A and B are shown apart, each in its own frame.
Chain A
Amino acid sequence: MVVTLLRLRFRVLANALRRNPLQVVAVTLGGVQALILVALALLGLWWAGSLAAEATQAVVIMGGAVLVLGWMVVPLLFEGVEHTLDPLKLARFPIRTNQLMTAMLIAGVAWIPGVATLIVAMGTAIAWQRVPAAAGVALIASIIGALTCVVGSRLVAAGVGILLRGRGAARIAIGASVIVLVVAPVLAVLFNGSSAGADEPSTIFATSVAVLGWTPLGAVWSIAGRVAGETSPARSGPAWWPQ
């Protein structure tokens, strides 16, 4: 059944592309853009690997959290959610929920944004190449990370879709509130801390990264860094290190 659902998704995609040559151009451009972004992200991760371990960890967590957040918010703003495997459309067929969920998950990864995300996620292993154990863990965690992106995206799209069946303005409002809800506290801590001058801004930043490393957005991206913190004997880690 999962195979049938995936075939359905890609048959619809192929037919849509064949019907509309402009869409082929759009997909090609999207692919090129994704390639560039992936290359830049991998370069960034390679650079992050040359920093001190805590800085590497901060870059990976921040980048990963932005990635997850992007998956949740961007489709809301651009109506880019893929509707082929919409549970409503398939409700008349005898399909088990877990079959549909599995198919949706695979379909989410197996297209340009999903593949790009998976490659970048696996690239966190480059950032941790100095600690082989951590690099290995990073590879495994990257799959969970990519799936987190897809599931998060579906979760938000489904939740919002139920709340407001395709009302554009409200859709943007929700997208904006998600950004505000998640990003604002981090920014608040940053700016509040620096303007008050009570603490070193870098400490405040470090604290927010450590907190982010425990949220659903950042947790999966912090795993490899935690392993690196455990296994590198020279470094016990600073006070803010996610424990």
Chain B
Amino acid sequence: MTVPLDPATDPASVPALELRGLTKRYGAGVVVDALSVSVPRGSLYGLVGPNGAGKTTTLSMATGLLRPDSGQALVHGIDVWQHPLDAKRLIGNLADGVDLYDHLTGEQLIMFSGLLFDLDRSTIRERTADLLALLDLESAAGSLVADYSAGMTKKIALAAALVHSPRLLVLDEPFESVDPISAARIRDILDGFVQRGGSVVVSSHSMDLVQRMCDHVAIVAEGRVLRAGTIDDVRDGGDLEETFLALLGGRQRGESPSWLSPS
């Protein structure tokens, strides 16, 4: 049920996601400043940066949730803001901070997501069962999402983002407040998705996680890309976190105030 992509107009060299000069201003401040990133197909791409770097705003503009002031977002060559419906069919979106329908049960949430992507009922039923099993949520399928733990909520949101079999998964902070077991399960699913030819973009402020999980990374701060490429190129033999801190002007080694000495 995915949109058939024509190899003639969508050769493998076309990136899964390409952002060209995306810009967003709020009042006088520039949140995202002419940001450009190219996510190759089949990559697991990490977007890292401190809080307030513009990661969520960037991903919202890349997936058709927030209109950019200028710039372009292309998903498999389709302009997200020129052809939003075609582009959205290719994207599985796990946005941070956008409420799910938490008064649906987990099962209903996946099924409605499928219906809203125009899938037929038998396909939806089959995929819902598969996804609930895959994410180890079968026992919670009949409970309201409002009663889920943080980890279960992320997992059901991921299931709802996968039901239409997207080509590109965009996950904003997928591991935020997720327990290690759920996090491991999510990572396995993302690995499997990439192995089958899908592409994944994740934002995170956990350098460690991105370094272990992703093959590409872009370091973003103040709405700009400071460095981007394969993990190995970016960290250049060192540690991603060290690279990151060096790029952001180094670690602040301030003197602690004198009262902060418990002994």
Residues A8 and B93 in contact, CB atoms below 8 Å apart: no
**Secondary structure dominating the interface of A:** loop
Residues A89 and B99 in contact, CB atoms below 8 Å apart: yes
Please encode chain A, from 67 to 86, with 1 for each CB lying within 8 Å of some chain B CB and 0 for all others.
Answer: 00000000000000000100
Q: Which of B63, B93, B98, B146 contacts A88 (CB under 8 A)?
A: B98
Q: 8 Å CB contacts to B: which residues of A76-106?
A: 84, 88-96
The docked-state distance in angstroms from the alpha carbon of A93 to that of B113 is 8
Q: 8 Å CB contacts to B: which residues of A11-34?
A: 11-12, 15-16, 19
Q: Which of A1, A16, A92, A96 contacts B93 (CB under 8 A)?
A: A92
Set of chain B residues within 8 Å of A91, measured between Cβ atoms:
64-65, 98
Q: Does B227 contact A (CB under 8 A)?
A: no
Q: Does B152 contact A (CB under 8 A)?
A: no
Set of chain B residues within 8 Å of A90, measured between Cβ atoms:
116
The docked-state distance in angstroms from the alpha carbon of A235 to that of B108 is 61
Q: Does B134 contact A (CB under 8 A)?
A: no
Set of chain B residues within 8 Å of A88, measured between Cβ atoms:
65, 98
With A4-B115, A8-B112 already in contact, the answer to whether A93 and B88 are too (CB < 8 A) is yes
Chain A residue, CB-CB nearest to B100: A89
With A92-B91, A92-B93, A94-B88 already in contact, the answer to whether A84 and B101 are too (CB < 8 A) is yes
Which of A11, A19, A96 is most buried by chain B, counting CB atoms within 10 A of its CB? Answer: A11
Residues B95 and A12 in contact, CB atoms below 8 Å apart: no
> 6 smallest A-B Cβ distances: which pairs?
A93-B116, A94-B85, A92-B93, A94-B88, A4-B115, A15-B103
Q: Does B234 contact A (CB under 8 A)?
A: no
Set of chain B residues within 8 Å of A95, measured between Cβ atoms:
85, 116
B79 to chain A, nearest CB (A): 15
Q: Which of A5, A15, A84, A94 contacts B118 (CB under 8 A)?
A: A94
Residues B89 and A11 in contact, CB atoms below 8 Å apart: no
A48 to chain B, nearest CB (A): 42
With A4-B112, A94-B84, A96-B85 already in contact, the answer to whether A89 and B103 are too (CB < 8 A) is no
The docked-state distance in angstroms from the alpha carbon of A93 to that of B109 is 13
Q: Which of A5, A12, A93 contacts B117 (CB under 8 A)?
A: A93
Set of chain A residues within 8 Å of B105, measured between Cβ atoms:
15
- Name 7 A/B residue pairs within 8 A (Cβ), A-sorted: A8-B112, A12-B104, A15-B105, A84-B101, A92-B161, A94-B86, A95-B116
Set of chain B residues within 8 Å of A94, measured between Cβ atoms:
84-86, 88-89, 116-118
**Secondary structure dominating the interface of B:** mixed
A83 to chain B, nearest CB (A): 8
B154 to chain A, nearest CB (A): 15
Set of chain A residues within 8 Å of B113, measured between Cβ atoms:
93
Binding site for B on A (CB under 8 A): 1, 4-5, 7-8, 11-12, 15-16, 19, 84, 88-96
Q: Does B137 contact A (CB under 8 A)?
A: no
Set of chain B residues within 8 Å of A15, measured between Cβ atoms:
103-105, 108, 144
The docked-state distance in angstroms from the alpha carbon of A15 to that of B116 is 19
The docked-state distance in angstroms from the alpha carbon of A12 to that of B109 is 10
Residues B118 and A11 in contact, CB atoms below 8 Å apart: no
Q: Which of A4, A89, A92, A96 contacts B101 (CB under 8 A)?
A: A89
The docked-state distance in angstroms from the alpha carbon of A91 to that of B146 is 21
Residues A19 and B116 in contact, CB atoms below 8 Å apart: no
The docked-state distance in angstroms from the alpha carbon of A12 to that of B144 is 10
Which of B99, B116, B146 is most buried by chain A, counting CB atoms within 10 A of its CB? Answer: B116
Residues B103 and A92 in contact, CB atoms below 8 Å apart: no
Please encode chain B, from 115 to 148, with 1 for each CB lying within 8 Å of some chain A CB and 0 for all others.
Answer: 1111000000000000000000000000010100
With A88-B65, A92-B91, A92-B95 given, can you name 13 additional A-B contacts, CB distance below 8 Å? Answer: A7-B115, A8-B116, A11-B108, A12-B101, A88-B98, A91-B98, A92-B63, A92-B65, A93-B113, A93-B116, A94-B84, A94-B86, A94-B118
Chain B residue, CB-CB nearest to A9: B101
Residues A4 and B116 in contact, CB atoms below 8 Å apart: yes
Q: 8 Å CB contacts to A: which residues of B185-212?
A: none
